[in-house]
Structure 1
Amino acid sequence: MKAVSSRDNPRLKRLRGLSQSAKDRRQQGLTVLDGPHLLCSALDAGVGLAEVWVSESGIARPEIESLLRRCPDTVETFSLPDPLFSQASPVDSPSGVLAVFAPVQPLRTLDNGNWLILDRVQDPGNLGTLLRTAAAAGIAHALLTPGCAQAWSPRVLRAGMGAHFMLPIHEQVDAMAALNAFGGEVIATGLMPSASSLYEIDLAHDVAWLFGAEGEGLSAPLFARADRIVTIPMIPGCESLNVGAAAAVCLFEQYRQQRAGGSR
């Protein structure tokens, strides 16, 4: 392990850039994960790590020490004084360990199965939560349109809690074009009187779920592309759910039905 103590160290400067700048991440094709849980998930998934950085206080934590021992010999490791580590961390509450790696490219092309299409979801916390939910519900592909937050940014990674290493994520997707090759039903949520109740429809087949940005919702062309509009029943006086909560209800209702063989 190499000790770095100067804030002017070139490798440390690069780490700070990757942690804080979407432009740097795009240009270098690298990103940063934060925390032992994500590092463990990346190692379990066989992700090729380039560097691991640990704070001086983090080295003393058994959990982090164990993860460092799991890292292949090809991974460069660096230690930082806690103040420098805090400056390099992409989050407000540094965890003691960071890793630099290249985002995982989808190995599977868009095929059958359930899709989650996210349209201009810009909040990193919401995006990470949606990806985490999709992975847990067995979604086959997550498609992100232009205007979504950078899927592999440190804050989205942290909110995803390892989902990125379980779920094929396709960014900058022309959703309308992709849907032309989809063989299942395309469903969006909405509040119009003609909408079907989520709990009264059969979901035991492939579905492409459409969810849009907070406040703005889906773009008009995508909303019009839906084969069906569904609503989530709620008590009187409640108008809508956060996009992450709405997606969770829909995806797990489908998961429940498909596990039960299509029963409603």
Structure 2
Amino acid sequence: MKHITSKDNAFFKHLKQLAHSSQQRRRAGNALLEGIHLADAYLGACGQPLHCVVSESALDNAGVQDVLARVDSERLVCLPEALFHGLSTVVNGIDLLFVVTVPTGRLPEHQSTDCVILDAVQDAGNVGSILRSAAAAGIPDVYCTAGTAFCWSAKVLRAGMGAQFLLNIVEHCTFEGLAPRLSGQILATTSHADQTIYQQDLTQPVAWVFGNEGAGVSEAWMSVVTHPVKIPQPGGMESLNVAASAAVCLFEAVRQRSRP
């Protein structure tokens, strides 16, 4: 394990840039995973990180020890607690982080399986929650248009709880580049629909479009939606949170496909 004690160390300066600059993370193609859960999930799904950074005070933590035992020794870096806290964005968390490479998503020529399209979903918590629901429901692909929160930001990673490691995520998708690749039914929720999500046949592959928190699904995407549907709300609320709507939709498909 490499020990760094000076804030003037070149590698520590690099870590600090990554920790505090989303632009730097995008330029380097890196993400920072904080905490034992994300580290454990990454090791299980993706293998070795680029670097594993831990504070001296966390070395006695049993969960940290389990993670360190699975990481190649040349990737381990130990920092004094004061230096580590200059990197962390988590309050009262475990002093462990991974530096990983952000995978490059694949945009297929023809989308024949289920997918989720995030149409300018801005809130990091919503994006992370939708990714988590998509991974849990067995959705393989998520496509993000401009305006959608960066799927590998710290907040989205925390909300996703490791879902990013199980999905093919493609960011910066355009309507013109993605829509022609879709086939079959394209669904979006709208309060103006006549049919409910429970009346729609979801046993075949679906491209799900979930829109911006305030504006909803854009006109361009609504123009190609084959089946607008609504979620019944007998309690009288005007609308559901987009992450909640996504969970209802995705798991209604799971329910229908689980029937004898």
TM-score normalised by length of structure 2: 0.93
Aligned positions of 1:244-259 closer than 5 A: 244-259=243-258
The aligned residue for residue 83 of structure 2 is 84
Structure 1 runs of 4+ aligned residues shifted over 4 Å read none
The aligned residue for residue 2 of structure 2 is 2
User: Given that residues 176 and 222 in structure 1 are in contact (C-alpha distance below 8 angstroms), is that contact kept between their aligned partners in structure 2?
Assistant: no
The aligned residue for residue 41 of structure 2 is 41
Q: Distance in 2 between matches of 1:181 and 1:108?
A: 9
Q: 1:121 to 1:260 in 2, by over 3 A?
A: same
The aligned residue for residue 125 of structure 1 is 125
Q: Distance in 2 between matches of 1:247 and 1:14?
A: 37
The offset of 1:219, in angstroms, is 1.6
Which 10-residue stretch deviates more, 124-133 or 90-99? 90-99
Q: How large is the Cα RMSD of the aligned pairs?
A: 1.7
Deviations 1:49-100 (A, max 9, x none): 111111222111011111101012442x111222321220133343210010
Aligned positions of 1:75-224 closer than 5 A: 75=75, 77-106=76-105, 109=108, 111-192=111-192, 194-224=193-223
User: Given that residues 105 and 171 in structure 2 are in contact (C-alpha distance below 8 angstroms), is that contact kept between their aligned partners in structure 1?
Assistant: no
Deviations 1:107-156 (A, max 9, x none): 67363211100011122111111101100011121000111111112221
The aligned residue for residue 30 of structure 2 is 30
Q: 1:158 to 1:139 in 2, by over 3 A?
A: same
Aligned residues with identical type, % of pairs? 39
The offset of 1:176, in angstroms, is 4.2
The offset of 1:101, in angstroms, is 1.1
Q: Distance in 1 between matches of 2:94 and 2:83?
A: 13
Tell me which amino acid in the other structure corresponds to 1:82: E
How many residues align structurally? 259
User: Given that residues 107 and 170 in structure 2 are in contact (C-alpha distance below 8 angstroms), is that contact kept between their aligned partners in structure 1?
Assistant: no
Consecutive unaligned residues of structure 1, counting only runs of 5 or more, are: none
The offset of 1:178, in angstroms, is 1.6
Q: 1:113 to 1:12 in 2, by over 3 A?
A: same
Q: Distance in 2 between matches of 1:61 and 1:236?
A: 47
Q: 1:22 to 1:56 in 2, by over 3 A?
A: same
Q: Distance in 2 between matches of 1:227 and 1:177?
A: 18
The offset of 1:13, in angstroms, is 1.8
Tell me which amino acid in the other structure corresponds to 1:4: I
Q: Distance in 2 between matches of 1:260 and 1:190?
A: 26
Tell me which amino acid in the other structure corresponds to 1:235: P
Tell me which amino acid in the other structure corresponds to 1:231: K
Q: Distance in 2 between matches of 1:19 and 1:221?
A: 36
